[in-house]
Amino acid sequence: MASVLIVGCGYVGVALGAVLAAEGHLVRGMRRNPDNLPDSITPLRADVHAKDLSNLLPDGLDFIFYTLSSGGGGEAGYRAAYADGPKNLLKAIDKKGEKPGRIFFTSSTAVYAQTDGGLVDEESPAQPTHYSGRILLEGERAFLESGHPATILRLSGIYGPGRTRLIDAVRSGKAEVQEGPPRFTNRIHRDDCAGVLAHLMKMDAPDEIYVGVDDEPADRRKVLNWLAERLGVPQPREAAGGEAPSARTATNKRCSNARLKATGYRFLYPSYREGYAEMIAEMETT
């Protein structure tokens, strides 16, 4: 049995904690308000930015997962969550003298600025132009240069239970598609985020960086049209006047999970079809 701490035990962290607790590990979920954590996760009330964080951390931690989200707040929120938080956690770990077997950090494919539809993997240049990617890289470096074994999981487009924004947009007729060549998007189901992290924890010597996406980078138009067909609603309309893509849809890269799959992990939801089909079915029964 391993002693595990999940810092920022939210959407992904709770799912991960449930998986690890079911396997018999002692799982603590750290957040400012842990009152609503499931019973299988031991609550730890603490703020990752607290000056006395070293006094709040439990002894003898085997693994630490940093799964905090920015929770909005723009650039300041990003810096607090993904740069200042990691640095304060590492400072607290060292002050306490903890020697975890490995620290895992859930980063993002936002560190890649490529927009030409090309293939992106762990060896691709990470030269972000937006503050989000630059701050994430700062957090990654903090963990990788800390002297503690660390692994970065760069996730993209997390969806799953409760995250029905795209389904709702298609169903309501508000979703739009852009003219022109394919614009590739990448995603991963929440339960695969948890599954991948649990899988990497069991490895003796995982790599420092993995890209966490499912098997199929997909043209956004193709995804929206598939959702419309599945929902039995009209296909999304063309964007009025050929409007430029929004910041959210301007991404255009095909992220590869080859390194991750080479470790033996097999996806619960290999593509958007399996994941969204299950979500739609559950929505129709509630």
> What letter does residue 188 receive in the DSSP assignment?
E
> What letter does residue 179 receive in the DSSP assignment?
S
Is it the case that residue 244 has pLDDT exceeding 80? Answer: no
Average of pLDDT values for 274-280?
97
What is the CA angle 117-122-128, rounded to 5?
A: 60
Confidence band for 72, pLDDT divided at 50, 70 and 90: confident
The SS3 of residue 255 is strand
Q: Domain holding 100: CATH number?
A: 3.40.50.720
Total-model pTM: 0.95
- Within a domain: residue 69? yes
Average of pLDDT values for 272-279?
98
The SS3 of residue 234 is coil
Q: In the beta sheet, which residues pair with residue 188?
A: 158
Give the pLDDT of residue 250. Answer: 65
| C-alpha–C-alpha distance, residues 11 and 187, integer Å | 15
Q: Which residue has the tokens 């006395």?
A: 52
Cβ count near 222 (within 10 Å): 16
- Within a domain: residue 283? no
Nearest partner of 225 among 169, 157, 267, judged by Cα: 169
* CB-count burial class (<10 Å; 0-12, 13-18, 19+) for 89: buried
Give the pLDDT of residue 54. Answer: 96
- Within a domain: residue 27? yes
In the chain the first and final C-alpha atoms are separated, in Å, by 37
- Within a domain: residue 167? no
Structural domain boundaries enclosing 146? 3-160+187-219+255-269
| C-alpha–C-alpha distance, residues 103 and 60, integer Å | 14
- Within a domain: residue 45? yes
- Within a domain: residue 243? no
- Sequence-ordered alpha helix ranges (H) in the chain: 11-22, 53-56, 74-79, 85-96, 131-144, 165-172, 190-202, 220-231, 258-262, 272-284
Q: What is the mean pLDDT of the chain?
A: 94
- Within a domain: residue 248? no
- Within a domain: residue 171? no
Give the pLDDT of residue 249. Answer: 45
Domain count, the chain: 1
